[in-house]
Amino acid sequence: MSATVVIGAGPSGLAAAHALVRAGKRVVVLEAAEQVGGLSGSFDFAGFKVDYGPHRLHQAAGPEVLALYREALGAALQVRARSGMVHVGGRRLPYPLSLLGLARGLGLTEVARHGLSAVMARLRPPEGNHFGAEAARRLGRHAAQVLYGPAARKVWGLAPEELDASLGRARVQKGGPLAVVRAALGRGGASAGRRYFYPEGGVGALAEGLAEGIRRAGGEVRCGAAAQGLVLERGRVRAVVVAGRELPAESVVATVPLPLLCEWTGRPEAAEGLGYRALTLLYLALATQRGTPQDVHYFADERLPANRLFEARNFLGGAGPAGRTVVGFDLPCAVGDGIWRASPEELTERVRPALERTGLAGVEVLGARVRRMAAAYPLYRKGFAVARERALNELSRVEGLYPVGRSALFVHDNVHHACAAGLAVGRVVSEGASSRVWRGLQKPFLETQIED
């Protein structure tokens, strides 16, 4: 008996499966890893639940997604106050922004310089259809030069001029100087960004709760079951290949990388030009009760390989074993480069300057753990949207195939975006709508605004 097969047990795949079992459909979820969650999973290290990077469940989520969170997590869903720090050269800015923090961190002269640059960008907008120009149009040439340019080269491995302008629209949160002031005053929608939801058991508890609910409703969630390909017949998906055997499928919701889906459907050329930025995550157990008061430190300096430092205890509301804490580092990279191949000891040496910036230089390191992700972020090179449209259009010709999620839709998103897309595709499939119908509904999920 065939079922709807969902490939990938991250937030989008599990949200889709949740919608499908609610509609009375038979569902089988396939997850290559030994646990659910994907990039939004958690694991145990040094007595803490640690996440694959600093994740938050943002209050910007819509009512349907918030209801999904509450159903999966119940009383374990806690509200946390944000407390971050942005390091720009030798300057330190509290995040979320505040007027006093900006004045103290930058100094009045630098604040005035940023303000004047932002105003001039409104009067004389920078030209160019690339990330650097978009960042400058939004927050001024000075901010683009000292903050977004270095960040682009470090995080994406490319010059700002090589990245598409849509990356700026997705990731430069403030649309202009007035938005910065409003955020610094905590007004409007900015006040909601100062708090977020977080599960007691780490962000992976969301996936675990969804998987448990799917199983209770009669669905299957199989971990350690990597999909190896698709079987097509007369332009339609007939089965998914797992462990060399065919699993019959009346339809397939897939969250694997878009180029891989094109390869599985015999259309590899459709995804030409699309690639991903890899990520190495280093976790250090430190011999101190708490590392810093902040949950996340952001490092704009491209001389530091770490993009962020995040502390598990602070996300967990102070919970965890006594006498030690765990901090994690995002280290953007490319598969096979020096960071990707480095040992935990080598990576520990690389992040020592970041430890110094946060006052942790002399703290004893008790242990280290490394996790690596080859396709962490879609790489928005200039003109990528044309290739993405071509690839998604080709996949829509395969009846019964429904791509969803960050990797398959080739989109930068938050957990709430992924869940919303999953719920939407679950409805489409449960109603028996075609792959082309889903293609026509994808646009809102391809134009997300990142909450950080």
Kindly indicate the confidence band of residue 99, based on its pLDDT and cuts at 50, 70 and 90.
confident
pLDDT band of 280, cuts 50, 70, 90: very high
What is the pLDDT, as a whole number, of residue 451?
87
Q: Average pLDDT, stretch 3-22? A: 98
Residue 188 pLDDT > 90, yes or no? no
pLDDT at 95 (0 to 100):
87
Task: Inform me whether the pLDDT recorded for 328 exceeds 70.
Answer: yes
Q: Each residue of 236-253: pLDDT tens digit? A: 999 999 999 999 999 999
Q: Is the pLDDT higher at 174 or at 411?
A: 411
What is the pLDDT of the chain when averaged over all its residues? 93
Poorest-pLDDT segment among 24-38, 182-196, 198-212, 385-399: 182-196
Give me the pLDDT at residue 181, please: 57
Min mean pLDDT across 164-178, 257-271, 303-317, 397-411 is at: 164-178
Domains of the chain: 3-40+62-79+199-274+381-446 (3.50.50.60), 97-185 (no CATH), 276-378 (3.90.660.20)
Model confidence over 130-146: pLDDT tens digits? 999 999 999 899 988 98
pLDDT for 180 equals 59
Q: Give the model confidence (pLDDT) of 227-240 as tens digits.
A: 999 999 999 999 99
Contact 194, 95 (CB under 8 A): no
Average pLDDT over residues 163-180: 77
Q: What percent of the chain has pLDDT over 90?
A: 83
